[in-house]
């Protein structure tokens, strides 16, 4: 079953998709909106992507503070997840996303992506990291 990974931001949602076996995550796109609370088109696009990829659910990044508490951004992500679940009827799995944007920025820099192009890819790369973290946590990998 494929899953879609989401990095929910104030004006963007980065999207990633897993392979059918749930082993790896790949970037899909970044959905842009003009205002933070204008979600109708964003939810419609995510519904479209879920259908296109035959996704069985969403892994939504949950911004937590470094002390594990949930702040304003985390509450907004939870509210968005609730709306997305109601819209699509698919399960929403919340996943701790602390420092994924920093890690995504570092990965893009190491890949020699030009500074001007990084913003185009940053959110979908963060979504990849969120989804990959979730997928890795579900696997039972025996110790070597």
Task: Please write the tens of the pLDDT for every residue from 2-61.
Answer: 999 999 988 999 999 999 999 999 999 999 998 877 899 999 999 999 999 999 999 999
DSSP string, 67-129: TS---HHHHHHHHHHHHHHHHH---EEEEE-TTHHHHHHHHHHHTT--HHHHHHHHHHHHHHH
| Count: domains in the chain | 1
| pLDDT given for residue 26 in this prediction | 95
> What is the Cα 77 distance to its own chain's centre?
11
Between residues 111 and 80, the one the model is more confident about: 80
Residues found in the chain? 144
Residue 79 within any structural domain of the chain: yes
27 vs 91: CA distance, rounded Å: 20
| The predicted structure's pLDDT at residue 64 | 80
Instruction: Give yes or no for residue 111 having a pLDDT over 90.
Output: no
CATH number at residue 25: 3.30.420.140
The 3-state DSSP composition of the chain as helix, strand, coil percent (nearest 5) reads 45, 25, 30
Residue 118: predicted pLDDT: 54
Domain that holds residue 75: 2-138
Query: Cα separation of 131 and 116, whole Å?
Result: 25
Nearest CA-CA partner of 12 in 117, 143, 35: 35
**pLDDT score of 117:** 58
pTM of the model: 0.84
Let me know if residue 144 belongs to a domain: no
How sure is the predictor about 114, in pLDDT bands with cuts at 50, 70 and 90?
A: low
Give the pLDDT of residue 96.
Answer: 87
The pLDDT, as a whole number, for residue 85 is: 97
pLDDT at residue 105 is higher than 80: no
Please give the structure tokens belonging to residue 70.
Answer: 């949930």
Percentage of the chain surpassing pLDDT 70? 79
- Say if 143 falls within a structural domain: no
């Amino acid at each position: 079953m494929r899953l879609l990974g989401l990095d929910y931001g104030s004006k963007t949602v980065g999207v990633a998709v897993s392979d059918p076996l749930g082993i790896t995550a790949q970037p899909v796109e970044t959905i842009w909106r003009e205002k933070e609370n204008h979600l109708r088109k964003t939810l419609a696009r995510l519904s479209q992507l879920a259908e296109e990829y035959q996704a069985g659910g969403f892994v939504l990044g949950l911004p937590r503070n470094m002390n594990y508490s949930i702040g304003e951004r985390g509450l907004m992500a939870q509210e968005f997840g609730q709306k997305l679940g109601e819209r699509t009827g698919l399960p929403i799995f919340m996943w701790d996303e602390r420092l994924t944007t920093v890690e995504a920025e570092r990965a893009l820099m190491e890949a020699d992506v030009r500074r001007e192009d990084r913003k185009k890819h940053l959110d979908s790369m963060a979504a990849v990291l969120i989804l990959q973290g979730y997928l890795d946590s579900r696997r039972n990998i025996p110790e070597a």
